[in-house]
Amino acid sequence: MAPVPDDDAARTGAPEGSLRLPLSPVRADHIRWFGVGATFVSAVALLAAQANGYAATLGVTLVLALAVAWGWPLLSGSYTPMATTVALAASSVAIVLSALRQDLLWVPAAVAFGVLLAFSGQLVRRTGREGLVLTLLSAFGGLAVIASGTTAVVAANSDRGQAVAVVAMAAVGAAVAVDLLPGVRVLTPFLGLVALAVSVLASLVAANFFDEVGALEALGIGAAVGTVSWSFRRVLSLQPAMLTRRGQIGSGAGSVLVVGAVVHLFSVLT
């Protein structure tokens, strides 16, 4: 059963069922101001939370995970978006709260719980089996993004981890500026390089406020998280659901959480 476009799709003139069709490059290159704002607010909120410690980081990560649970099923093409949203929302709570253990020992179990929910939702489905594999892949992709963001929560428990996380979010936030450039045809082939340069510059500036992160390490953090975050949104830019606010929220929040594993990796390296 194909998902029904939400009210935002109707306002953009997208006919019912068009969320299954790929966008043309021309439509994909339009600036989506709501998505840009949602992504920037998500990055700044997580940056501020990480600077304030573990509790704030856990809370903001949970909010972003629930935002992904709401927007991701439509964005990724789930044939049962409501069921996938419910499964991801319940899993989000379990996965993010699993970070209460600093060793993250409970994270795999929480993700496994989400996988079981995704399968269970399809077992009780009454609309046939159309798009079954795509729907399951949609749920699994959402779980991976949420789990990645969760691994960065424990970074807020140490001064070094906080420094790495703040530097990383500064790079992610700066890379959002590149989302305003796709319409500039002369820059289109070089958007990836521009995102890389902007992210590295922002991370170097942010690293000046911390003794725990050196310039060379800040360069690596900025290059990794900025490029990954921007590429995540760029890859999804052709998805028809990007015409809707729901899809843009899923893309924006997801692009902030997806770099969590990179943040965690840099935070544990000495």
Alpha helix stretches (DSSP H) within 191-244:
191-207, 215-235
- Say if residue 24's pLDDT is above 90: no
pLDDT number for residue 266: 93
Contact 166, 50 (CB under 8 A): yes
In whole angstroms, give the CA distance from residue 187 to residue 203.
22
**Tell me, what amino acid is at 21?**
L
Mean pLDDT of 60-75: 96
Q: Angle, to 10 degrees, between the axis of helix 245-257 and the axis of helix 132-151?
A: 50
| Whole-prediction pTM | 0.86
Tokens in use for 108? 């795999």
pLDDT digit string (tens) for 117-174? 999 988 887 777 788 899 999 999 999 999 999 999 999 898 999 999 999 999 999 9
* Burial degree of 228 (CB within 10 A; 0-12, 13-18, 19+): buried
CA angle, residues 3, 9, 14, in degrees to nearest 5 = 90
What confidence tens digit (pLDDT) does each residue in 92-133 have?
Answer: 999 999 999 988 999 999 999 999 999 998 888 777 778 889
Percent of the chain at pLDDT exceeding 90: 67
What is the distance in angstroms between the CA of the first residue and the CA of the last residue of the chain? 50
Q: How far is CA 259 from the centre of its chain?
A: 8
Alpha-carbon span 195 to 178, nearest angstrom = 6
**Element (DSSP H or E) covering residue 54:** helix 54-76
Task: State the Cα angle at 120 between 114 and 123, rounded to 5°.
Answer: 155
20-34, 44-58, 95-109, 236-250: least confidently modelled range: 20-34
Higher pLDDT, 37 or 185: 37
CA atoms of 204 and 251, how far apart (whole Å): 26
The amino acid occupying position 208 is N
